[in-house]
Amino acid sequence: MHVHVNAAESVDGKLSTREREQVAISGPEDFDRMDALRADADGVMVGVGTVLADDPSLTVKDAERRDQREIEGRSPNPARVVADSRARTPVDAEILDDEAATYVLVSEAAEQAAIDGLEDAGGTVIVAGKDRVNLPGAFELLAAHDLDSLMVEGGGELIFSLFEARLVDRLTVNVGSTVIGGREAPTLADGEGFTDRDSFPELSLTGVERMDDGVLLSYDV
Ligand code: NAP
């Protein structure tokens, strides 16, 4: 699985406010770049925290990009993928609309009734892991559904786990020229955090570009 993490953060590294409300951190040029990344990917992934906070649809907004995907024999939109150990995704969430396929990755801790509800709502449920979604295992199962590339949009809990499991290939971050603050506000990588220098993922800076009123940083991992 090729995994590209893409996010927008404030200068102080926050993905949103302490109230976990979605905020526009970057501008139109960055939104368009993100739309192109979605259009390139087989799947667009978030954690259930983002589904509950933002209720995103994760679809490609530009009609020409959707048309181009169809010309290439692909579905107009990439699949949506959510990491959701206990199947907490609401059955009326936008990611379960009819615009694209949706894979809900759950663990063995998910209640069968919740799984049934998600499947009735059109989702495909994939079980991997005991109490929490086992990401490497889940990605192998996604590959069996012809998903070979994922663009991950967040949030900070999921992104940390992906780095911890050494699953990230590429990282792009748009640093918007604003300060959000708040010790409880989500950052690019939350989770437990790494404690020793040897375990910090090594990133290689491949690009620095001014975009809107911020800066786009690109890394290979
Ligand atoms: P998140 O990363 O979206 O989701 C975290 C949840 O995913 C966990 O609590 C966990 O819940 C589930 N999960 C399942 N398996 C996991 C695994 N192996 N590792 C980690 N998580 C796993 O939530 P978040 O960190 O709270 O971030 C949400 C915030 O980020 C929102 O405020 C949103 O607006 C913001 N956001 C910003 C951007 C941006 O680019 N600025 C992009 C996306 C989101 P269970 O244990 O119940 O499964």
pLDDT digits (tens, 9 = 90+) for 109-158: 999 999 999 999 999 999 999 999 999 999 999 999 999 999 999 999 99
Tell me what pLDDT residue 208 has. 98
Ligand 1 lined by 190 (C-beta under 6 Å): yes
Judge if the beta carbon of residue 170 lies within 6 A of ligand 1: no
Length, in residues, of the chain: 221
CA separation for the pair 40, 103 (Å, rounded): 18
Query: Is the shortest distance between the CB of 84 and ligand 1 below 6 Å?
Result: yes
Cα dihedral sign for 138, 143, 144, 147? Answer: positive
How far is the centre of ligand 1, averaged over its atoms, from the C-alpha of 6 (Å)? 14
Q: Give the Cα separation of 59 and 44 in Å (integer).
A: 8
CA–centroid distance, 45 to ligand 1, in Å, is 10
Dump pLDDT digits (tens) for 179-218. 999 999 999 999 999 999 999 999 999 999 999 999 999 9
Ligand 1 pocket check for 7: Cβ under 6 Å: yes
> Which tens digit of pLDDT belongs to each residue from 79-116?
999 999 999 999 999 999 999 999 999 999 999 999 99
For the stretch 153-164, pLDDT in tens is: 999 999 999 999
Query: Taking the CB of residue 85, how many other CB atoms lie within 10 A of it?
Result: 20
Flag whether pLDDT at 21 surpasses 90.
no
Confidence category of residue 167, pLDDT binned at 50, 70, 90: very high
pTM across the whole model:
0.98
pLDDT at residue 59 greater than cutoff 90: yes
Query: Ligand 1 centroid vs 71 CA: distance in angstroms?
Result: 33
Cα distance between residue 164 and residue 219, in whole Å = 17
In angstroms, the CA 8 to CA 153 distance is 9
Q: Which of 16, 94, 103, 160 to mutate to test the pocket of ligand 1 (most atoms within 8 A of CB)?
A: 16
Per-residue model confidence (pLDDT) at position 134: 98
Q: What is the pLDDT of residue 38?
A: 98
Instruction: State the average pLDDT over residues 23-46.
Output: 97
Could you tell me if the CB of 74 is within 6 A of ligand 1?
A: no
Cβ-contact 93, 55 below 8 angstroms: yes
